[in-house]
Amino acid sequence: MIKILLISSTSACFELENDLAFHSDKAYTVSLNGKALFTADTNVFSVFDLRPMQEYTLEVTGYGTLRFTTAKESCAVNVRDFGAKGDGVTDDTQSIQTAIHCLPPDGRLFFPEGIYLTAPLTLKSHITLDLSENSVLLGHTDPTRYPIIPGITRDLETGKELHFGTWEGNAVPMHQALLFAEYAEDIRIIGRGVIDGNAQNSTWWIDVKNREVPRPRLLFFNRCKSVSVHGVTVRNAASWQIHPYFSSFLSFLDLRVEAPADSPNTDALDPEACDHVRIIGCQFSVGDDCIAIKSGKIEIGRTFRKPASDHVIRNCLMQFGHGAVTLGSEMAGGVRDLTVERCLFHETDRGLRIKTRRGRGKDAVIDGVTFEKIRMDGVKTPIVLNMWYNCCDPDRFSEYNTTREKLPVDERTPYLGSFTFRDMECLNCHVAACYCDGLPEMPIGEITVENLLFTYADDAVSGVPAMKNNAVEMCRAGMYFDNVGKLTIRNVTVSGCEGEELLLQNVGTLIKE
């Protein structure tokens, strides 16, 4: 009944196996080697300040015991031994970067309590950053301290393109992230400390649409492998908080990712063209999407044909963002095999939010998406599958992207495949229960909704369920489906909607039980 998610040299992360969303059915006490550590009520919890290569006995009241042994490490060094002050005033960049360079493989860099003011840091393979409780990595507010990474360079001998910088699905120059790694592997960022982009005290959130070079992310991993981020709090990024890009075997466990509700483009975690991604036990409250799974815009999608694949999101809490789990809109490489389960969505604009449109291309295939055992409260529209997304790109208002006429299927046409929504409770909805709008020339393949309950807030506010051209405001609307190949509805209750519970247009096969 207790599952091990991660064992590092000094920390461990565990998950209680049940059918509940985010919280356990009762509080429990965690003990280690017979000593009580804390009481909690979430399905995922962690222990820290362990010793390398030590055997421990973990006991969780009501769930049993297990034994585990922490990982080995080659050494552990204190960042202050390299001159870091941690006083929040001294520039500690050079000291921290020197310490990272000096670490041998499997070495751990320890940050004791303090505020470490730093410009961007470059990570390398086979290291651990260990941020102790009450330690803060604090980003400089001066934009000139963030070097510009080119989007594309060319090999001097072969002329082959090399991709480094990116922004919203395109290979373009960008400012270096505060924690930055490219072509590296076996990296761990662990602990109870904080990584703070400090954007609230800078100019990063001002006049964001008129910048020559896009704002930096807080954590950026390009073409990396085996990266684990565990336990830390990540907050106040200049733009996206955590952005893995063309990377594999990634674990994001028991994190807290935070930004003000009105902060621009501060998505919590955006894996782009990544595979084998675990996002478990995390808490998100940001100014944009909580999780946005991406795979590049059309040039990236056509060049690499690398779908986002094999993602698991479980036991997470998403609050106040635009979308709890978003797919796209930069998804020209496709998204395949996504499972979201046992999560709690609280007052996000949308629960599942799929954003695509004509022009994303034939490789823009989203397929194999399952949502189950989800609880939503105060989510304006719990399920949105939108093939008419109208933001960000110059052609968004073109006739091609606005006409409801059936167009020829060609190289530019995206596809949405199979979607399953099962065992979900969606309370206090506002705008609509769900809104699924496919293309007339490429209907959404198959949607199954089973064992779902929708209710509506007493003070429900109207709004548009999906960002598209010519959108019509709704309030307490039922389940809307347009241009869907096959729709299966089993044991679904829509309680308190205004008008028809089921609004159907251009649905090929309907199975209703």
Q: What are the residue numbers of the active site? A: 288, 322
Sign, CA torsion 199/205/211/213: positive
Strands (E), 170-224: 174-175, 179-182, 185-191, 194-196, 219-222
**434 and 489 Cβ atoms separated by less than 8 Å:** no
**259 and 286 Cβ atoms separated by less than 8 Å:** yes
Query: In angstroms, rounded to a whole number, what is the distance separating the alpha carbons of residues 385 and 367?
Result: 12
By C-alpha distance, which of 93, 82, 80, 42 is closest to 63?
Answer: 42
User: Which H/E stretch holds residue 298?
Assistant: helix 298-304
The phi, psi pair for 156, rounded to 5°, reads -65, -25
Residue 148, SS3? Answer: strand
Sequence-distant (6+) residues with CB within 8 A of 2 are 14, 15, 16, 17, 58, 60, 63, 64, 66
- As given in the structure block, the two tokens for residue 460 are 């429900």
For the chain, give the number of residues: 513
Count CA atoms closer than 13 A to 36's CA, side-chain side: 6
Sequence-distant (6+) residues with CB within 8 A of 201 are 141
Sign, CA torsion 141/142/145/150: positive
- Scanning the structure block, which residue is given the tokens 């007052």? 347
Residue 200, SS3? Answer: helix
- As given in the structure block, the two tokens for residue 110 are 């320890």
DSSP structural state of residue 168:
T
Surface-to-core class of residue 55, CB atoms within 10 Å of its CB (0-12 exposed, 13-18 middle, 19+ buried): exposed
Is it true that the peptide bond before 24 is cis, omega within 30 degrees of 0? no
Query: In angstroms, rounded to a whole number, what is the distance separating the alpha carbons of residues 394 and 357?
Result: 13
Query: In angstroms, rounded to a whole number, what is the distance separating the alpha carbons of residues 293 and 296?
Result: 10
Query: In angstroms, rounded to a whole number, what is the distance separating the alpha carbons of residues 398 and 416?
Result: 22
- As given in the structure block, the two tokens for residue 181 are 């790694």
CA 21 to chain centroid, in Å, comes to 18
Query: In angstroms, rounded to a whole number, what is the distance separating the alpha carbons of residues 44 and 372?
Result: 18
Give CA separation, 273 vs 228, 237, 453, in Å. 17, 21, 33
The phi, psi pair for 358, rounded to 5°, reads -55, 140
